Amino acid sequence: MAQKKSKHLTIFLKAPFYLFIAWMLGFLLFLARLPGPYSADTIKADAIVVLTGGPKRLEVGLNLMTGKHAQKMMVSGVHKDVRIRELIALTGADQALFNCCITLDRAAQNTLENAAETAKWVSKNAFNSIILVTADYHIQRSVVLFRKSMPQITVIPFPVKTHMPILKIAKEYNKYLATLILELVDY
């Protein structure tokens, strides 16, 4: 009996080590799957969705718009105090482009809400495909959430290259793991 308790105790004490090793291997795979720069040459969709929260995302979305890769664009997660004129000054974009073709979503405050607000916008406009613009380290989790929120819509990931500290990437990896686990539990 004492030997059986000892065996269970050994397994219990080793479990954190094995979990850490599994986490590290998964993290290395996550890092290896971070996408490199994409070429927009062949990408075409009904709309572009830009997630706020990082540098160059809006500029990339606007470049895709002016390159005629889509006809409409939504910027999701815009702070309530940000005005269009500030975005125009920041990006150098044309006011007419904002007036005709760009929607600002101010309701979403996280990626899950970005997906929900985008699903409403996509449904209202009867779009069938979107180009999803966000940071390279954020794209994997975003695609999972967007495809879950809009299974009938084609989601084309378009990552923006970033240089994030490894701890920030590890935090995103943890969120990605949590998203995958919740996806498994949901089915």
The answer to whether position 125 is within a domain reads yes
The answer to whether position 17 is within a domain reads no
Per residue in 105-128, pLDDT tens? Answer: 999 999 999 999 999 999 999 999
Q: Give CA–CA dist 59/124, Å, rounded.
A: 25
Do the strands 72-76 and 47-51 form a parallel or antiparallel pair, or are they unpaired?
parallel
CATH of the domain at 175: 3.40.50.620
The answer to whether position 39 is within a domain reads no
Number of domains in the chain: 1
- Of 54-58, 59-63, 145-149, the poorest mean pLDDT is in 54-58
Residue 90 lies in domain? 47-186
The answer to whether position 40 is within a domain reads no
Q: Looking at residue 39, what DSSP letter applies?
A: P
The answer to whether position 77 is within a domain reads yes
Per residue in 67-79, pLDDT tens? Answer: 999 999 999 999 9
The answer to whether position 74 is within a domain reads yes
The answer to whether position 130 is within a domain reads yes
What pLDDT does residue 184 have? 84
What pLDDT does residue 68 have? 93
What pLDDT does residue 8 have? 65
The answer to whether position 18 is within a domain reads no
Beta strand segments in the chain, E: 47-51, 72-76, 102-105, 129-135, 154-160
